Structure 1
Amino acid sequence: MSGKTKPFFTNSFSSVFFNPLHLIRSKLYTEIQDLAPRLKGKLIDLGCGTKPYQHLFTNCSEYLGLDIEESGNKDSKSLVDIYYDGRTFPFDNNSVDCFFSSETFEHIFNLDEILAEINRTLKPGGYLLASCPFFFPEHEVPYDFARYSSFGLQSLLEKHGFEITEYRKTGSFLSAMIQMTALYIYYFINRIPLVKHLLFILLITPLLLLALLIDAVFPDRIKRHDLYLNNIILAKKL
């Protein structure tokens, strides 16, 4: 399996010098990289976009991107293998070994229906690996419909016949606030093309480094995890 990861979707330390979403992307990449080897066989990437994590799923014999025609991520259409109508997947019952979906659930208005479809098409014991933001600005508008807490996401999955085998959060209260501050500053300096890279290094890179330091050395009682960046969940069909 081959795949080239775009620089904004890696855990490379160098991206603190050019990626305003470094904390989000690097932590998300690390968690997906850790959990991806558990998925095997035929994998469906729901809301696949540019398939930035495909190369991590080395135990999967088949990797197919599934998306709807109308979405907020129009530039990624060339990497979609299969389109569906937004309600029903074009797969038989119990025919898919595993599903992966990263940063897609917030763009699905009818998530209850889609989780039921994932359960219908998964083989018994098949896995769903998914991530979605908890603390992040509206994006890909107008196709940004929801944010899910840890409790809400786990309840939805259990309602649709899944057992949670792994649940993780990325970031902490402090690092999440710093990440959003860095992103806010980036919105303004990105409008100054001649000096935006210099301003990035002077204003944003120190913030990102501070957040990394906080998450690395501060105890949990100070960092707190009731505000965080992303949910990552691995669930098994019962």
Structure 2
Amino acid sequence: MVSSDFKPSVFHPYYFIRKGLVSKIQEYSGAMKGKMLDFGCGSKPYRAFFNVQEYVGVDFVNPGHPHDNEQIDVMYDGKTIPIADNTFDSALSSEVFEHVFNLEDILKELHRVLKPGGTMLITCPFVWKEHEVPNDYARYTHFALKHLFEKNGFTVKTLDKSGNFVEVLHQLTVLYFYDHWYMKLFKKIPLINYIFFFFFIVVPNIGGTILSSLLPKHRQMYLNNVILVEKNA
């Protein structure tokens, strides 16, 4: 079961970005099979979506993201994944690549531990605030990611996006009011905190949902890259 924090309602301040992620990961989950790697697994929030023989989570020590109560199977040093060549049939890496400074080196490592023909599903943000600082290094376009994958032994099967221009605008509006007003000023004030939360988080989430369904889906501005690749045989 996916927790409500990663499969949120309109009462969640990260509603649009996480709604888009959970929808796309579920959509492409059927491409994963056999022994599967979750690279940068954290709490394995999407584990329930994958019907695989074995699910192995790998992560590393990140001062911006404590791993308390997370079920990580293998820790790595940020450079080398301590797993043998050609081990995994498939892999997932969700919201990790922006935290990897040496991304090309890690792509080589992911290529190494995947079997020939193995499939990998990746998500990473295009529009989002700085997070898990100081380990937040990059935002990527489709063009950059396609180049990096093809350069490092992968074939890109699908280039997709989550979110659209309207959802980005509403998500950033909610984020501003939540981070800079609600959390810093109003959260501890009884009654006012509920009023503020309703009008500046819930209402924009509902309004953005309605407008997104009615207005043209311009996707030059979007929230997340969603990419499916295959290791070249």
1:148 corresponds to: 140
CA distance in 2, matches of 1:155, 1:146: 15
Distance in structure 2 (CA, Å) of the matches to 1:214 and 1:156? 35
1:234 paired with 2:228, answer yes
Does residue 43 of structure 1 match 2:40? no
Deviations 1:83-102 (A, max 9, x none): 11111111211111111011
Equivalent residues, number: 227
Is 1:22 aligned with 2:15?
A: yes
Gaps of 5+ in 2: none
Counterparts of 2:135 and 2:194, CA distance in 1? 30
Deviation of 1:70 (Å): 3.4
Single out whichever of 181-190 and 196-205 deviates more from structure 2: 196-205
Which structure is higher in helix share?
A: 1
Superposition CA RMSD, Å: 1.4
Alignment correspondent of 2:214: 217
Structure 1 residue 31 corresponds to structure 2 residue 24: yes
CA distance in structure 2 between the aligned counterparts of 1:73 and 1:6, rounded to whole angstroms:
18
Structure 2 counterpart of 1:119: 111
Counterparts of 1:228 and 1:38, CA distance in 2:
24
Q: Where does structure 1 lack aligned partners over 5 or more consecutive residues? A: none
Would you say the 8 A contact 2:62–2:135 is kept in 1? no
Inter-partner Cα distance in structure 2 for 1:71 and 1:62: 29
Q: Kindly, what percent of the aligned residue pairs are identical?
A: 40
Compared CA separation, residues 125 and 21, structure 1 to 2 (3 A): same
Q: Distance in 1 between matches of 2:225 and 2:212?
A: 16
* 1:76–1:57 Cα change, 3 Å: farther
- What is the CA distance between 1:76 and its match in structure 2? 4.3
Alpha-carbon shift at residue 77 of structure 1 (Å): 5.8
Looking at structure 1, the residues matched to 36 and 112 of structure 2 have their Cα atoms a distance apart, in angstroms, of 15
TM-score, normalised with respect to structure 1: 0.91
1:154, distance to aligned residue in structure 2 (A): 1.3
Inter-partner Cα distance in structure 2 for 1:74 and 1:34:
29
Equivalence map 1:116-195=2 (5 Å):
116-187=108-179, 188-191=181-184, 192=186, 193=188, 194=190, 195=192
- TM-superposed CA distance for 1:198, in Å, is 3.0
Q: Contact 2:16–2:171 at 8 Å: present in 1 too?
A: yes
The alpha-carbon deviation at position 155 of structure 1 amounts to 1.1
